[in-house]
Chains A and B, each alone.
Chain A
Amino acid sequence: MKINKTSLSSISSLSQKRIAAEKRFRLYGLIGISIGLLMLIILIGTILSKGLNAFQQTFITIEIELIEAKLDKKGNRDLADIKKVTTFGYTPLIKKSFEVLISKENLVTDLSSKNVSKILSKSAASELRNFVLKDLNLIGQTVSFEFLTNSWIDGYLKGRVTRETIKNSKNVSPEQLDLVDQLVELGIIKKKFNLGFLLGSDASDMRPEAAGFGVSMVGSFYMMLVVLILSLPIGVAASIYLEEFAPRNWITDVIEVNISNLAAVPSIVFGILGLAVFINFMHLPQSAPFVGGMVLTLMTLPTIIISTRASLKSVPPSIRDAALGVGASRMQTVFHHVLPLAAPGILTGTIIGLAQALGETAPLLLIGMIGYIATNMPTGIIEGLASPNSAMPAQIYEWAKRSDPAFYERAWGGIIILLVFLITMNTVAVILRRRFERRW
């Protein structure tokens, strides 16, 4: 047989092809990763640029004289009597204080005092009323009060509304903007950090400036509490039984296949199931976070069961042999040795499952946890679980579908908060896995 001796430095055509193929493959990989990263940057950039404005709000500070003759005619500071004065009683006070402001600061405007006060939020009068009802001693004094401006003025300060865009608008006039310009210069109208967005509740269509995310955050919190309390013990118990105790036969095979299938069922199916069973059949309250939690539990259970079984499987059988070999019962083997080793995996799976549930919107639509529902923070655990509320993703959806761009901005702001929660949860999951994972 004749052997062709070739030099190592001269590359054969076959090698050349192989090298070229590998280079091409690496290039494809790099392109793929670059596209992915670019998309991620665009996504984060868009969310931040559109949503960060929601964390700021435009306020106007006005000196208001709380005239006793209007608010407390009898002068006896009786709460019941003062409550009889509706928000209509406060509106003239606000108008009047604007007049005072304009003359004091020598502001130039042709607007009627009614149209001047329209730069305030529609909730201004009720804000003032609540403020007075809290402290009746203020009646008769002149107080400096911070009002929300309406969303158009807010948008004007944020650049969302310009003189161009309002040409045909009935909501705001160029004269109002002229006045606002003067007030901004004086520092009377200012953009500030918007605590109300983090703590408040949703508001009606006419008052996007007053809408907050806080109450739906609390709704989500109670739902997650229910999901955790229900799905962790049920899921872990089911997995331990299936993995360690159940006989391997066709019944357990069917169960196993179905659990995997359930994990792939669209969440809206669980929603309609919850509607049919929990609300229509069991007559549990609509829109209640604990019902929402139960529906999300159904959705989360397969995820937790699958990840728990995987982490139980990954515990080496030699540990089970060792425990059984010294005379531990099967239950002792599982609880003393297998479960502690599987715990980090179980925890990670649970957190991922919770994070999934936290971002889930579709099932909430069906059990009525959407829309303008709760106006106040729940005061206790019972109220938090049972009184109607919304949840973060549902609130975002609700805002996004309203036509007003001021709500749209808040939807993006809500997405930022939701993402912060999700990223935090996933980070915790990664840290737990890193810290407690044992290698052997």
Chain B
Amino acid sequence: MKNEIKISAKGVQVFYADKHAIKNVDVEIKDKTVTAFIGPSGCGKSTFLRSLNRMNDTINTCRVEGEILLDGQNIYDPEVDPVQLRAKVGMVFQKPNPFPKSIYDNVAYGPRIHGLSQSKTELDEIVEMALRRGALWEEVKDRLSEPGTGLSGGQQQRLCIARAIATQPEVLLMDEPCSALDPIATAQIEELINDLKENFCVVIVTHSMQQAARVSNKTAFFHLGDLVEYGDTEELFIKPIDPRTESYISGKIG
């Protein structure tokens, strides 16, 4: 089962009005692995990530061409409901964005709207499970009714991860999840990502090459909308094939 291909992108192009943000990207992302997207600012890595769960649909001028297959099904097929897709492909954002509700309600929101629980006890179990997997349970179990916005930045981000886990997704997309956090909180999140790959296909966008090296199994390097190089993280960092990759990881561009 491990290393089965989960997401497969074929000839993906993304446009913002006239701007060509992603140029003909082909990539295969494996299940139960952590895949990192790296590259300089504006290279399109976040855009590509957001096209994996159709979050780009909310931007009017955005247009996606090509195919993105999730378990062999094209998610841009007109028959696919983006709402159901997003339940399967969860997302964690750059800035922690808990709802201004209680910690419990934050996590329970997804399961509630997707009808994942039949009873209150079942919902309680889901919330506990999600918070445990989000490595937050021990810290908040006595104050589940307090507002999620009252937590520290790192805790908020773990709450957001728990919230994403609670809907029982298959893929977790993370858009620079540590960029607003301090080093200690970052280390906690990275540890958490390492645990998450046991159960999920994790895709993470990061601007930190060290982070990509620490957490990911596979790395994709984007530059100016092109997927320049994609491979095992170790190989990409030690023996990059493309000169652009080399100059980026050695700090000459970006």
Task: Indicate, yes or no, whether A interacts with B.
Answer: yes
A residues neighboring B (CB under 8 Å): 247-248, 316, 318-329, 332, 336-337, 341, 438, 440
Chain A residues, Cβ within 8 Å of B58: 320-321, 324
- How long is the Cα–Cα vector from A318 to B97 in the complex, in angstroms? 6
Which one, A325, A328, A438, contacts B93 given CB within 8 A?
Answer: A325
**A320-B58, A321-B93, A322-B93 known; A327-B98 Cβ under 8 A:** no
Main secondary structure of the interface of A (DSSP, over half): helix
Residues of B within 8 A of A440 (CB): 100, 149
The residues of B that contact A323 with a CB separation of less than 8 Å are: 99, 109
Q: Which residues of B (95-118) have their CB < 8 Å from a CB of A?
A: 95, 97-100, 109-110, 113-114
For B97, what are the chain A residues with a Cβ–Cβ distance below 8 Å? 316, 318-319, 321-322
A326 and B87 within 8 A (CB): yes
Q: Are A332 and B99 in contact (CB under 8 A)?
A: no
Looking across the interface, which residue of chain A has its beta carbon closest to that of B173? A325
Which residue of B is nearest A327, CB measured? B87
Q: List 10 A-B contacts (CB under 8 A).
A: A247-B60, A318-B93, A320-B58, A322-B93, A322-B98, A323-B109, A325-B86, A325-B91, A325-B92, A332-B113
Are B164 and A325 interface neighbours, CB within 8 A? yes
Q: How far is the CB of B157 from chain A (nearest CB, A)?
A: 12
A325-B163 Cα distance, complex, nearest whole Å? 10
B60 adjacent to A328 (CB under 8 Å): no
* Bound Cα distance from A325 to B110, whole angstroms: 9
In the complex, A332→B109 CA distance in Å?
A: 11
Q: Is B84's beta carbon under 8 Å from chain A?
A: yes
B83 at interface (Cβ–Cβ under 8 A)? yes
B160 within 8 A of partner (CB)? yes
Q: Assuming A322-B160, A337-B99, A341-B100, is B55 touching A327 (CB within 8 A)? A: no
Q: How far is the CB of A160 from chain B (nearest CB, A)?
A: 59
Residue of B nearest to A331 (CB): B83
Please judge, given known A-B contacts A322-B98, A326-B87, A328-B83, whether A336 and B109 are in contact too, CB under 8 Å: yes
Tell me the complex Cα distance, A332–B114, Å. 11
Q: Is the CB of A327 within 8 A of B99?
A: no
Contact of A321 with B55 at beta-carbon distance under 8 Å, contacts A247-B60, A332-B113 already known: yes
Residues of A within 8 A of B99 (CB): 319, 322-323, 337
Q: Which residues of B contact A (CB under 8 A)?
A: 53, 55, 58, 60, 83-88, 90-93, 95, 97-100, 109-110, 113-114, 149, 160, 163-164, 166-167
Question: In the complex, A380→B88 CA distance in Å?
Answer: 56
Q: How far is the CB of A251 from chain B (nearest CB, A)?
A: 13
Min CB distance B15 to A, Å, is: 16
Known contacts A319-B99, A322-B93; decide if A328 and B113 are in contact (CB<8 Å): yes
A102 to B97, CA, bound (A): 85
In the complex, what distance in Å separates the CA atom of A38 from the CA atom of B251? 67
A residues within 8 A CB of B160?
322
Contact between B110 and A327 (Cβ–Cβ < 8 Å)? yes
A325 and B83 contacting across the interface, CB-CB below 8 Å: no
B residues in contact with A329, CB < 8 Å: 83
Q: Which 10 A-B pairs have the closest CB atoms?
A: A327-B87, A318-B97, A325-B91, A326-B110, A327-B86, A322-B97, A329-B83, A248-B60, A438-B100, A326-B167
Query: Could you tell me if B90 and A325 are in contact, using CB atoms closer than 8 angstroms?
Result: yes
Q: Which of B95, B100, B164 lies in contact with A326, CB distance below 8 A?
A: B164
The answer to whether A327 and B100 touch (CB under 8 A), given A248-B60, A322-B160, A336-B109, is no
Tell me if B83 and A327 are in contact (CB < 8 A): yes
Bound: A404/B100 CA distance, A? 60
Specify which chain B residues have a CB less than 8 angstroms from the CB of A332 in the assembled complex. 113
Other 16 A-B pairs with CB < 8 A, given A325-B93, A440-B100:
A247-B60, A318-B93, A319-B99, A320-B58, A321-B55, A321-B58, A323-B99, A324-B58, A325-B55, A325-B90, A326-B90, A327-B110, A328-B83, A336-B113, A337-B99, A440-B149
Report Cα–Cα, A328/B99, bound state, in Å: 13
- A324–B86 Cα distance when bound, in Å, is 7
Which residues of chain B have C-beta atoms less than 8 A from A321's C-beta? 55, 58, 91, 93, 97
A440 to B153, CA, bound (A): 12
Chain B residues near A322 (CB-CB < 8 A): 93, 97-99, 160, 163
Give complex CA distance A191, B55 in Å. Answer: 74
The complex places the Cα of A365 from the Cα of B166 at a distance, in Å, of: 61
Contacts of B88 in A (CB 8 A): 327
In contact, A326 and B109 (Cβ under 8 angstroms): yes
Contacts of B55 in A (CB 8 A): 321, 324-325
What CA separation (Å) do A248 and B17 show in the bound complex?
A: 13
Residue pair B86, A326 in contact (C-beta under 8 Å): yes
Contacts of B92 on A, CB cut-off 8 Å?
325
Question: Is A327 touching B167 in the complex (CB atoms < 8 A)?
Answer: yes
Residue of B nearest to A322 (CB): B97
Tell me the nearest residue of chain A to B93, going by C-beta.
A321
Known contacts A321-B55, A438-B100: A327-B93 contact under CB 8 Å: no
Q: Which residues of B contact A337 (CB under 8 A)?
A: 99
Q: Complex formed: what's the CA distance from A379 to B83 in Å?
A: 53
Q: Give the distance to chain A from B146, nearest Cβ to Cβ, in Å.
A: 15
In the complex, chain A residues whose CB is within 8 Å of the CB of B95: 318
Q: B56: shortest Cβ distance to chain A, in Å?
A: 11
In the assembled complex, the CB of B158 is this many whole angstroms from the nearest CB of chain A, namely 14
